[in-house]
């Protein structure tokens, strides 16, 4: 399936241009590097080989030797470089050939991608390298393990990343797709959508809501009616911060006692997606056990409710363009529509 999809991406004229390139993408978690400090993953249709040099520096190369296109990931790390297993050419983290057993190194090189570790995430720049500015990596906050219980997971989506963003940008689905987490108040909530500095922000305020048992435990509300806010902040191309704030009715507004969940989607190909999700709860509010329970519930819901639905949507849409099928637009789609529009503008601006 993956191979088939990659073939189709390549055949579609100019289809690779569909991805926003001059932006940071999450390539994985730092913990995903194996015991030999290596990780191979396809991103935006390109096979990437990520590794750490002997002195701990993080590097990312196109996983394709320029000589015969053997995957460098089949090779061996030697100090600063990876040596191709086929004919022994070695390339350092900058992509330059550091050793050619068969002649001069000349201009031999492989594409290198800027890559940075931050808060346990590996951020890669798939565009023009000299435009990569580390300062533009979004700071999601609440990831300091001293202050927060932080848990992270991964799912592989058989769907375009845009569909997966839509799912988070319109949380009215909670009531229907996640019956154990939903309340009528979520779908009846007043929804504010606005754009700010290239971000799309969707807020839902729920008043006097009695939370389902599981959530009541995580947020320590018991059976009391509480006010709650769900805020989703979309960062292009496809990272979302979902913040839940809970104001207990007896303790006044305490927006810090909620939770944060990151939903980060990185296209593997035009039709498949890496889904990285990270949840955090404040240590001074919730215990280890509550955090474990919260994360287990999220994982269950993502795996058994969101993923099957989105994969099924994608299968039904097939190779057609989502917009070409003229989906019925509802008021709840404002967030998804704004984010798609913004993304499209950014991609067009790159062409």
Choice from 22, 32, 71, 282 touching its own copies (CB under 8 A)? 71
State the DSSP H helix or E strand holding residue 48, giving kind and residue range, or none if neither.
strand 46-52
Distance of CA 269 to the CA centre of its chain: 14
| 23 or 206: CB nearest its own copies | 206
Q: In what order do the strands lie in the sheet with 58-62?
A: 38-43, 46-52, 58-62
State the DSSP H helix or E strand holding residue 28, giving kind and residue range, or none if neither.
strand 24-29
Listed ranges 100-108, 192-200, 280-288, 337-345: which one lies at the site for its own copies (CB under 8 A): 100-108
Cα distance between residue 92 and residue 285, in whole Å: 46
Residue 190 interacting with its own copies (CB under 8 A): no
| 150 or 189: CB nearest its own copies | 189
Residue 341 interacting with its own copies (CB under 8 A): no
| 87 or 194: CB nearest its own copies | 87
State the DSSP H helix or E strand holding residue 40, giving kind and residue range, or none if neither.
strand 38-43
Cβ neighbors of 255 (< 8 A, separation 6 or more) are: 229, 245, 246, 247
Choice from 117, 175, 227, 350 touching its own copies (CB under 8 A)? 175
Cα distance between residue 97 and residue 115, in whole Å: 19
Q: In what order do the strands lie in the sheet with 239-247?
A: 148-157, 273-282, 259-267, 239-247, 225-235, 199-210, 190-196
| 31 or 190: CB nearest its own copies | 190
| 64 or 151: CB nearest its own copies | 64
| 73 or 260: CB nearest its own copies | 73
Helix (H, G, I), strand (E, B) or coil at 221: coil
Choice from 198, 327, 341, 348 touching its own copies (CB under 8 A)? 327
Cα distance between residue 119 and residue 237, in whole Å: 19
Listed ranges 58-66, 128-136, 212-220, 295-303: which one lies at the site for its own copies (CB under 8 A): 58-66
| 301 or 317: CB nearest its own copies | 317
Tell me if 200 sits within 8 A of 193, measured CB to CB: yes
Map the footprint of its own copies across residues 252-311, applying CB under 8 A. 308-309
Backbone phi and psi for residue 57, each to the nearest 5 degrees, phi listed first: -75, 140
Residue 40 interacting with its own copies (CB under 8 A): no
Cα distance between residue 262 and residue 248, in whole Å: 24
Listed ranges 85-93, 122-130, 198-206, 293-301: which one lies at the site for its own copies (CB under 8 A): 85-93
Among residues 163, 150, 172, which one has the least CA distance to residue 307?
163
Map the footprint of its own copies across residues 3-22, applying CB under 8 A. 3-4, 6-7, 10-11
Among residues 4, 267, 276, which one has the least CA distance to residue 159?
267
Task: State the nearest-atom distance from the C-beta of 264 to its own copies, in Å.
Answer: 21
Listed ranges 116-124, 126-134, 174-182, 245-253: which one lies at the site for its own copies (CB under 8 A): 174-182
Cα distance between residue 26 and residue 22, in whole Å: 13
Listed ranges 196-204, 215-223, 229-237, 314-322: which one lies at the site for its own copies (CB under 8 A): 314-322
- Give the number of residues in contact with its own copies, rule: CB under 8 A: 52
Residue 69 interacting with its own copies (CB under 8 A): yes
Phi-psi region of 179 (alpha: psi -120 to 50; beta: other; left: phi over 0): alpha
Q: Which residues contribute to the site for its own copies (CB under 8 A)?
A: 3-4, 6-7, 10-11, 47, 63-64, 66-71, 74, 83-88, 100-103, 108, 166, 170, 172-173, 175-177, 187, 308-309, 312-313, 315-320, 322, 325, 327-328, 330-332
């Amino acid at each position: 399936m993956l191979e088939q999809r990659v073939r189709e991406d390549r055949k579609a004229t100019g289809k690779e241009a569909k991805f926003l390139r001059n932006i940071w993408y999450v390539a994985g978690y730092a913990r995903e590097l194996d015991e030999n400090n290596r990780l191979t993953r396809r991103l935006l249709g390109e096979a990437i080989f990520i590794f750490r040099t002997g002195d701990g520096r993080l590097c990312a190369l196109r996983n394709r030797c320029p000589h015969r296109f053997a995957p460098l990931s089949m090779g061996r790390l030697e100090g600063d470089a990876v040596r191709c297993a086929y004919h022994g050419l070695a390339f350092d983290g900058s992509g330059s050939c550091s050793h050619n057993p068969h002649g001069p190194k000349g201009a031999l090189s492989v594409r290198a991608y800027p890559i940075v570790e931050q808060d346990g995430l590996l951020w890669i720049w798939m565009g023009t390298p000299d435009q990569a500015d580390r300062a533009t990596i979004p700071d999601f906050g609440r990831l300091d393990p001293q202050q927060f219980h932080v848990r992270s997971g991964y799912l592989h989506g058989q769907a375009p990343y845009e569909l997966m963003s839509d799912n988070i940008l319109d949380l009215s689905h909670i009531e229907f797709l996640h019956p154990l987490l939903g309340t009528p108040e979520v779908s009846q909530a007043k929804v504010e959508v606005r754009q700010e500095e290239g971000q799309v922000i969707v807020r839902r305020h729920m008043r006097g809501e009695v939370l389902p048992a599981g959530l009541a435990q995580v947020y320590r509300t018991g059976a009391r009616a509480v006010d709650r806010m769900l805020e989703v902040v979309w960062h292009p191309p496809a990272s979302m911060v979902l913040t839940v704030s809970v104001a207990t009715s007896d303790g006044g507004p305490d927006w810090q006692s909620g939770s944060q969940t990151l939903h980060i989607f990185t296209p593997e190909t035009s039709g498949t997606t890496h889904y990285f999700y990270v949840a955090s709860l404040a240590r001074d509010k919730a215990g280890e056990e509550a955090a474990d329970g919260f994360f287990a519930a999220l994982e269950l819901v993502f795996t058994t409710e969101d993923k099957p639905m989105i994969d099924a949507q994608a299968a039904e849409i097939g190779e057609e363009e989502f917009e070409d099928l003229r989906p019925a637009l509802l008021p709840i789609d404002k967030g998804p529509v704004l984010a798609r529009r913004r993304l499209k503008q950014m991609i067009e601006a790159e062409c």
